[in-house]
Amino acid sequence: MDIVKLTLNKIPDLYIEAENITPDHFAGKTAQQIGELHLHLGNTTAKISDYFSVEGKGGQTAADTKIIVAGDTTKVKYIGMKMTAGEIEVQGNTDMYTAAWMSGGKIHVKGNVDSFCAIGMTGGEFIVDGNAKNYLAASYRGDWRGMQGGKVTVKGNAGSDTATFMNGGTIDIGGNVDVHLGTHAEGGKIIVRGNAKGRVGGQMVKGDIFVLGQVERMMPSYIYKADEEVELDGKKQIFQVWIGDMGERHAKRKGEIIYGKIYIPTEIATEKAYADVVEKKKKLSDKQLDQVKEAFRDQEPTVQQVRTYIYDTFDVDMKPMQVSRVISGLKR
């Protein structure tokens, strides 16, 4: 496999749209030819070589090409968009649409990714070592086809609207997810190893959602069906199975109605776990407060930024008003 190494050596003023950074576009090209490929910044066009140094060359086919992206690529969108084969390794963070509409190959991001990553994905593998923001593996606006195949693994947390309109493939999230997980799902499998913030499986008609932590509030339109023994990660466990969304119309197969299913481990899904809001800690200790101050020293963070940081770091769900007071404290 031939390797092309791109190193970002100039931070752009605006965000770079880099849909040409895929093994499909790099295959069969020399470093110079790769450097000539286009990037877009707002209404202007640049070359890859204007922002990246290029080393190596593409393989004969996309499948023979591996791209390593180094440098601070937080402001680079569309990496690996519509890629069909090969491999991409991103050593830092990426912006929106990474792995969007991907149909084959592998993308490994070692940092965090922004929103709309892996949307409309039909195949391949997408791994994120950090966190993913909103609309992970969802559908594009107006489209009713979200993720249809392949595998997405996020080792950290995921934002809201994850897997909207999903109808195939597997998503494995190591941490927590925000609201609206699997909304409108019509198939596929979602595993959340942390907690889900609520509205799990809203308007879902088919598919499986495993939440190994707690569901903050189960939708009233889901009904408890039974405890079932299900195999997950190669071992059998007993889960409470909830079916729904009862507000939706459901198809029949062989005379039997198909429902979406939510699986919660029985040891966590006690009788009250679904109905009541999980009583999370609402306050920070002095030590935690110091850590927040340190993290946002000399910055002007928004309430949302601080609230997300506190939720991700300490698993404390503070109200915006409380967070505002923390921010006032930072200024003093």
Partner 1 sequence: MSKTITDVICPFCGTLCDDLSVVTDDEGKKILSVENACAIGAEKFLHASDHSHRVTRPRRLQEDGSFVDITYEEAIEYTAQMLANAKKPSMYGWSSTNCESQSVGHEIAELCGALVDNTAAVCHGTTLVAVQNVGIPSCTLGEVKNRADRIIFWGSNPAHGHPRHMSRYSIFPRGYFTGKGQKQRKIIVVDPRCTDTSSLADVHLQVEQGQDYELLQALRAAVRGQELTGDIIAGVPKEKVYEAAEMLKSGRFGVIFFGMGVTQSLGKDHNIDAAIMLTNDLNNYTKFSIIAMRGHYNVTGSGQVLGWQFGFPYSVDLSRGFARYNPGETGTIELLKRKEIDAMFVLGSDPGAHFPMQCVKEISKLPSVAIDPHITPTSAICKVHVPVAFVGVEVGGNCYRMDNVPIESRKVVEPPEGMMTDQQFLEGVLKRVKELKAN
Minimum distance of partner 1 from residue 241's CB (angstroms)? 13
Cα distance between residue 320 and residue 165, in whole Å: 30
- The encoded tokens of residue 142 equal 């107006």
Q: State which of positions 281-310 bind partner 1 (CB under 8 A).
A: 300, 302
Length of the chain: 332
Residue 251 binds partner 1, judged by CB under 8 A:
no
Q: Considering beta carbons, is residue 66 or 217 the nearer one to partner 1?
A: 217
Give the x/- contact pattern for partner 1 in 43-62, rule: CB under 8 A: xx------------------
- Interface residue with partner 1, options 98, 112, 183, 195 (CB under 8 A): 183
CA nearest to 67, candidates 90, 92, 44 = 90
With vertex at residue 166, the alpha carbon angle to CA 162 and CA 172, rounded to the nearest 5 degrees, is: 55
Residue 248 binds partner 1, judged by CB under 8 A:
yes
Minimum distance of partner 1 from residue 42's CB (angstroms)? 3
Cα distance between residue 281 and residue 279, in whole Å: 7
CB atoms within 10 A of CB 70: 17
Specify the stretch interacting with partner 1 by CB under 8 A; choose among 245-253, 254-262, 287-295, 324-332: 245-253
> E strand or H helix at 287, and its extent?
helix 286-295
Give the x/- contact pattern for partner 1 in 69-108, rule: CB under 8 A: ---------------------------x------------
The CA-atom distances, in angstroms, between 131 and each of 157, 214, 216, 226, 321 are: 5, 19, 20, 33, 25
Q: Considering beta carbons, is residue 44 or 231 the nearer one to partner 1?
A: 44
- Interface residue with partner 1, options 29, 151, 189, 199 (CB under 8 A): 199
Q: Which residues would be at the binding site for partner 1 (CB under 8 A)?
A: 13-15, 17, 40-44, 96, 115-116, 134-135, 140-142, 144, 179-180, 183-184, 199, 202-203, 217-224, 245-248, 274-275, 300, 302
